[in-house]
Amino acid sequence: MTVLVSVWGAAPGVGKSTLCAGLSRSLAGAGLRVDHFREEEILSRPQFAAVAEEFGATGAVGLETLLAATARFVESVLARGDDVVVADALVPFVPTLLAMGHGEEAIDAFMADLADVLAPVRPVVVFLDGDAGAALSRAGEREGPEWLGWYVGKLAAYEVSPPVSDLASAVTYLRRERAVTLGAVRRHGWGPVVVERADELTPGEVLGAAGRGLEPWLA
């Protein structure tokens, strides 16, 4: 059965994209057929064309649009015969739903529908935990001096709750995003495999911890 490994983190800069690349190489090296779904590919994968079009037109995406796109993606995975999909910030879409103003009850109902869509694959979330403030600082160092301001402005524009107006409030919001994501994933049996203090570990240590946590899912 195909396993869908969806990687999330406590904040940008915690190392999820690096982990996705490392996991993809490691699993492919073990002889598995691996699809590495990069975060930016949600705008270019044909199964998500309606999502990209709707977001570009309105700045938001309907729940039915997300479910239908995910169903098309699952069909494509099964048609290719992939053993593992390593997805960088794809399902369960919780941060996106929070940014669009959905409450926790609505998110949980959506997760129930999403679980039905994902029934042909085995979803598991790998969550890179750590200090959101430290991770944001690391992302700012990597992306350049203007990135933090852009990121805070993006969250503020979405009118998230609690509201974001500066770096400190962005960290507070990310803590809520973390709690809602992990709570929803646990309630629906998608793991999670949590890598503690990921912001303090080397990429190799994060990869090792994630790999050990995934062993029961990939056996």
Owner of token pair 């690349």: 21
Do 61 and 96 contact (CB within 8 A), yes or no? yes
pLDDT digits 0-9 by tens, 58-102: 888 999 999 999 999 999 999 999 999 999 999 999 999 999 999
Q: What is the pLDDT of residue 44?
A: 93
For 162-184, what is the mean pLDDT? 96
For 152-176, what is the mean pLDDT? 95
